[in-house]
Chain A
């Protein structure tokens, strides 16, 4: 079964600073990859998804970007963080067909 690694677990950044969150997947190949943001422990907002290397779809126009430089690596970035970027960021992956998404343990990002 697949394992999703996310780091760091927590991050405190000043407004205007850059961001790079990394997600790597083990135990599967050619996964679909997803970045979500969860605010206040409630609903999940899909930010980006990728069905292959270099293929990124953005769901919400915002201050963030994503890249997939390798099959099992998904990176979330920002050039300049805003206060509104605070939240709990979750990476997920799924196989093809009717497979469920599996989630990493997330990164809690606080912007000061």
Chain B
């Protein structure tokens, strides 16, 4: 079985401040981890993935995420948030041998000007 927890329903930050969205996962085998962003009435957009290798993964729009195997975490980060980063963020995991993704419940990010 596999699952994802996003412990914060909402994250509020001021523009220019660092942004962190937390994610922890559970999977029986080796994990493939993903972050997606969703704007209102749109589909999910892929931001970045961790498959193997360097624990710090860089993705689109200045986002990065750090894989921590001992803490089973994959937190999303951005050094300097923009108002346009306000959206719904999803963390997802799958076992490397599975087709199916398990998604977290999502975290709403609000960046105030």
Contact = CB atoms under 8 A, between A and B. Distances in A.
Contacts, number: 50
A51 B103 CA distance: 20
B96 A98 contact: yes
B99 A49 contact: yes
Which interface residue of A42, A43, A44, A106 has the most chain B CB atoms within 10 A?
A44
Interface residues of B, number: 22
Contact of B105 (A42, A92, A105, A106): A42
Given A98-B49, A100-B34, A46 B100 contact: yes
B44 interface: yes
Interface of B: 32, 34, 36, 40-46, 49, 51, 88, 90, 96, 99-101, 103-106
7 contacts: A41-B88, A49-B100, A94-B99, A100-B49, A104-B43, A105-B42, A106-B43
A100 B105 contact: no
Interface in A84-112: 90, 92, 94, 98, 100-106, 108
A42 B103 CA distance: 10
B45 A103 contact: yes
A100 B51 CA distance: 10
Nearest to B106: A42
Which interface residue of A90, A100, A104 has the most chain B CB atoms within 10 A?
A100
